[in-house]
Chains A and B, each alone.
Chain A
Amino acid sequence: MTDVAFTPKFVLSMRGPSVTTEKPAVRIALILVSVAFLVLFLLLPLAAVFYEALRKGVGTYFTALVEPDALAAIKLTLLVAAIAVPANVVFGLAASWAIAKFEFPGKSILNTLIDLPFSVSPVISGLIYVLLFGAQGYLGSFLKSEGIQIIFAVPGIVLATIFVTFPFVARELVPLMQEQGTQDEEAALSLGASGWKTFFKVTLPNIRWALLYGVVLCNARAMGEFGAVSVVSGHIRGKTNTMPLHVEILYNEYNFAAAFAVASLLALLALVTLVIKVGLEWRYADQIAASRRH
């Protein structure tokens, strides 16, 4: 062991008990395969976004971001997320309160139904609202006579976004609140606190990190959703284009620099989301019951 001081730490740590690990050569090969696969499939696309965005220079990059249609798309994306995320937060809180704090028949069916939107293709998530509210949909003629437009307008985009982000908050909160049980709330109630006070002063602090975790994931999907929104939007420039749809239009017009410039904003959002997500997972692992599946 005289050479210990000169051996890199990670090589040292690879000298484990040999019966429960692989030969060093196999280990190094597997690490290299993993790193190569992840670089090829994950890092390269991410790098390509920023490379293509900045290829024509910083001037072109910022011009693409501040032109009116891009700004309108950014505003619409923020607006849609600002409606969809709080709506799903309220739903997530109500659903987890009902499921975690009470026993009632049909609970496991309800739990399954909440996850349903995750197994529906984004395109179908948009399609169902067109079938209901579209010009030839079930409520189409009624909406037309009332002068209400949902499809090819902002309400349709909001609805489709709510659908695809539906389970995010509930699925973080339900398992955690089930684990936490009802003792804390019962204690607060028996000491004379009202139901709402118990909720805001006892339950909410108990679940705040998991709630934030769910909100961050929900928001990332809400701002980045493409398929569902694409079906209901109608792609009217400056009016019903969200950022991902604006990227598509620019790309199809062969305006690649601008398309990647707007895409780079969404990629930044993804990176920020990952950083917050990992930060929460490291710091508050015990308070996040996340099933880490999505």
Chain B
Amino acid sequence: MAGARGLALKRPSAIPGFGLALGFTLTYLSLIVLIPLAALVLKSATLGFEGFWEVVTGPRTLAALELSFFTSLFAATVNAVFGVIIAWVLVRYRFPGRRLLDAFVDLPFALPTAVAGIALTAIYAPNGWIGSLFEPFGIKIAYTRLGIAIALIFIGLPFVVRTVQPVLEEFDRELEEASATLGANRRQTVFRVMLPTLMPAILTGFALALARAVGEYGSVIFIAGNMPFYSEIAPLLIIIRLEEFGYAQAAAIGAAMLIISFGILFFVHLVQAYSRRRFGQ
């Protein structure tokens, strides 16, 4: 954007409708997204920095934020490992049912979270299909943190698969051949040539799954048991504070969560900038 065009808002064009389209876009964006989000910032600012800090580091809030973050981290890690395996299998191997499996990966995006929540609870409850298998060993899944992790694995599953898949599809097989010709065995080629190239995509998918999981509500609350200090996630605490008319507290927890997710997305941005420089993609 060179500054030589002076005050002109746009580069000259024969296409009409710029004013109308941009005007509508900006108005709609402001009314639906920007002003309401500004209300969140404004409301948490009424607490002052010390008040904000007090809410966010209060024991119950801190426990909820930590729970949300660390179970999300665990779930995103599981998704990263299995996401790479699934993407690999879908791209590299041909077997019956492959396309069906491929289509099915998007189910968590399409299935309403509340439906996923009650279905997972039914399966992992002590009398459920899977829960009953673990019950004799004294392992409870539903209504524990393990249950929360399972719900988060469910909703984060597509992210890694869908970010790694296109990169793997474009992967230059000559690199693998070169590696093999130079004497590397298949394991070395995969782990020292291919995975490093896939790493930016894996990290991007991982971070997107993490960001989604930190804010997730619907699929988690049914399976979590929601015990304060143990299995109460941050989004639920926001709702509890709202029901007590603690608007400012709710806004402060919300702002803290937004800071966490924007931090994660900034990380994605850095990874992508790095990979563009390194791999020229």
- Which residues of A are interface residues toward B (Cβ below 8 A)? 10, 13-14, 19-23, 27, 30-31, 33-35, 37-38, 40-46, 48-49, 52, 90-91, 94-95, 97-98, 101-105, 110, 113-114, 116-117, 119-124, 127-132, 134, 136-138, 159, 162-163, 166, 182, 185-186, 189-190, 195, 199, 217, 220, 223-227, 230-231, 243-245, 247-248, 251, 256, 259-260, 263, 266-267, 269-271, 273-274, 277-278, 292-294
Please, which residue of chain A has its CB at the minimum distance from the CB of B219? A226
Over the window 15-28 of chain B, the binary record of Cβ atoms lying under 8 Å from chain A Cβ atoms (1 yes, 0 no) is 11110111011101
A185 to B37, CA, bound (A): 36
Query: Inside 8 A of A35's CB, which chain B residues have their CB?
Result: 97, 101
Q: Are A123 and B235 in contact (CB-based, < 8 A)?
A: yes
Q: Is the CB of A195 within 8 A of B115?
A: no
Binding site of A, secondary structure by majority: helix, strand, loop or mixed?
Answer: helix
What are 14 of the A-B contact pairs (CB < 8 Å)? A13-B94, A21-B92, A46-B107, A49-B115, A101-B13, A102-B11, A121-B214, A121-B254, A128-B36, A131-B39, A163-B32, A182-B15, A227-B216, A273-B110
Bound Cα distance from A174 to B181, whole angstroms: 43
With A227-B217, A274-B107 already in contact, the answer to whether A94 and B239 are too (CB < 8 A) is no
**Does A30 lie within 8 Å of B17, measured CB to CB?**
no
Residues of B within 8 A of A94 (CB): 20-22, 24-25, 28
Cβ contacts under 8 Å, B180 to chain A: 19-20
A121 touches B257 (CB 8 A): yes
Chain A positions within 8 Å of B145 at CB level: none
Q: Are B32 and A162 in contact (CB under 8 A)?
A: yes
Q: Are A27 and B242 in contact (CB under 8 A)?
A: no
Given A30-B88, A278-B103, A226-B35 contact (CB < 8 Å): no
> Does B136 sit at the interface, judged by CB under 8 A?
no
- A49-B113 in contact (CB<8A): no
Q: CA separation between A138 and B42, bound complex, in Å?
A: 10
Q: Given contacts A48-B119, A223-B112, could you give 17 more A-B pairs where the C-beta distance is less than 8 Å?
A: A20-B177, A30-B85, A30-B88, A42-B107, A45-B116, A48-B123, A116-B33, A119-B262, A127-B242, A127-B250, A166-B32, A217-B109, A224-B113, A224-B115, A226-B112, A230-B239, A247-B114
Q: Does residue B230 face the partner (Cβ distance < 8 Å to A)?
A: no
Interface assignment of B279: CB less than 8 Å from any CB of chain A: no
Cβ-based interface call for B104 (8 A): yes
